[in-house]
Amino acid sequence: MDIGEWWPKLRPETRNWLIEHNGEEVPSSVLSEITAVAGADSGDESWIGEKWPSGVLLSDAAVDWIEEVANDENPS
């Protein structure tokens, strides 16, 4: 599922965390909420960058998308 589809389904606190910590490792608690609304990781999600045991990094495209949202721009 594309980030634009699951983003509005996240709790406001989670969206704020992602904006404030954009580009940082996403902890398992935040990842759990994302996968709850986006569906299980099938390996081809464009928003997932690197996977680590403690969490994931978002892809460059997802980081850019979140930055656009944070700047009140219309992300593509």
The per-residue pLDDT for range 23-59, each reduced to its tens digit, is 999 988 998 999 899 886 655 667 888 877 777 899 9
The per-residue pLDDT for range 4-30, each reduced to its tens digit, is 999 999 999 999 999 999 999 998 899
Alpha-helix runs per DSSP H in the chain: 3-6, 12-20, 28-38, 60-70
Domain boundaries, the chain: 3-70
pTM: 0.86
Asked if 66 contacts 22 with a C-beta cutoff of 8 angstroms, the reply is yes
pLDDT of residue 52: 74
From CA 9, how far away is CA 46, in angstroms rounded?
17
User: Between 66 and 75, whose confidence is greater?
Assistant: 66
Cα angle, residue 51 at apex, residues 71 and 6 outer, rounded to 5°: 45
The per-residue pLDDT for range 53-71, each reduced to its tens digit, is 777 899 999 999 999 999 9
